[in-house]
Amino acid sequence: MALLELRDVSKNFGGLQAVNHVSLHVNECEILGLIGPNGAGKTTLFSLIGGYYYPNSGRITFRDHDITGLQPNAICKLGLARTFQLVKPFANLTVFDNVMVGAFNRTASRSEAKERAQQVIEFVGLNGREAQMARELPTPGRKRLELARALATQPTMLLLDEVMSGLTPTESATLVALIRQIRGRGISVLVVEHVMRAIMALSDRIAVLHHGEKIADDLPENVTKDPKVIQAYLGDEFMLSEV
Amino acid sequence: MAKVDLVNALPAPRSTVLVLALRGLVFVIVLVLPLVLDSYLLSLAILILFWGLLGQGWNIMGGYAGQFSFGHAAFYGLGAYTSTWLLVNAGVNPWIGMLAGGLVAVVFGLFTGFLTFRYGLRGPYFALATFAFAEMLRLIAINWEVVNKSRGIQVPLRGTDSLLAFQFETTKVPYYYIILGMVLFTLALTYWIDHSKLGYYFKAIRENEEAAAALGVNPLRYKLLAMSISAFITAMGGTFYSQYLLFIDPEIVFGPQASVEILLRPIIGGAGTVLGPIVGALLLTPLSEFARTLLREPPGFLALLRGHAGTDMMVFGALLIVTIILMPSGLVGWVAKHWNRLVKR
DSSP B182-212: HHHHHHHHHHHHHTSHHHHHHHHHHH-HHHH
3-state helix, strand, coil in chain B (%, to 5): 80, 0, 20
Going by pLDDT thresholds of 50, 70 and 90, the confidence category of residue B345 is low
B117-144 as b/e: b if 16+ CB within 10 A: beeebeeeebbebbbebbbebbeebbee
Q: Does B204 touch chain A (CB under 8 A)?
A: yes
Q: Does A59 touch chain B (CB under 8 A)?
A: no
Residues of B in contact with A90 (CB under 8 A): 203-204, 207-208, 211-212
CA distance B226 to B151: 33
According to the 3-state scheme, what is the secondary structure of A37-61?
Answer: CCCCCHHHHHHHHHCCCCCCEEEEE
Note the pTM of the prediction, 2 decimals. 0.91
Compare all CA atoms of chain B with the CA of A128 and give the residue at the minimum distance: B3
Question: Residue B253: pLDDT above 80?
Answer: yes
B240 or A40, higher pLDDT = B240
CA distance B93 to B87: 6
DSSP state of B274: S
Question: Would you call B214 and A84 a contact, using CB atoms and an 8 Å cutoff?
Answer: yes
Percent of chain B, pLDDT > 70? 93
What is the bridge-based pairing of β-strands A80-82 and A157-161? parallel
Burial class (CB in 10 A: 0-12, 13-18, 19+), B61: buried
Question: Would you call B215 and A105 a contact, using CB atoms and an 8 Å cutoff?
Answer: yes
Query: Distance from CA of residue B210 to its chain's centroid?
Result: 29
Compare all CA atoms of chain B with the CA of A104 and give the residue at the minimum distance: B197
In this predicted structure, what is the pLDDT of residue B17? 84
Sheet containing strand A2-13, strands side by side: A16-27, A2-13, A57-62, A65-66
In this predicted structure, what is the pLDDT of residue B269? 94
pLDDT digits (tens, 9 = 90+) for B307-321: 676 777 777 788 888
CA distance B257 to A183: 58
Residues of A in contact with B202 (CB under 8 A): none
One-letter amino acid at A210 equals: H
Question: Of A76, A101, A109, which to mutate for an interface test with B (greatest number of B Cβ within 10 Å)?
Answer: A101
Compare all CA atoms of chain A with the CA of B329 and give the residue at the minimum distance: A92
Q: Between vectors from CA B328 to CA B19 and to CA B118, what angle results, nearest 5°?
A: 110
pLDDT digits (tens, 9 = 90+) for A88-131: 999 999 999 999 999 999 999 999 999 999 999 999 999 999 99
CA distance A114 to B1: 11
Going by pLDDT thresholds of 50, 70 and 90, the confidence category of residue A206 is very high
Homologous superfamily of the A29-53+67-79+155-243 domain (CATH): P-loop containing nucleotide triphosphate hydrolases (3.40.50.300)
Q: Select from A150, A130, A157, A152 the least CA-distant residue to A32.
A: A157
Of B1, B197, B211, the CB nearest to A84: B211
Domain map (residue ranges) of chain A: 29-53+67-79+155-243, 83-154
Of A73, A84, A130, the CB nearest to B216: A73
Minimum mean pLDDT range among A206-215, B137-146, B335-344:
B335-344
Question: Residue A40: pLDDT above 50?
Answer: yes
Other CB atoms within 10 A of residue B184 CB: 13
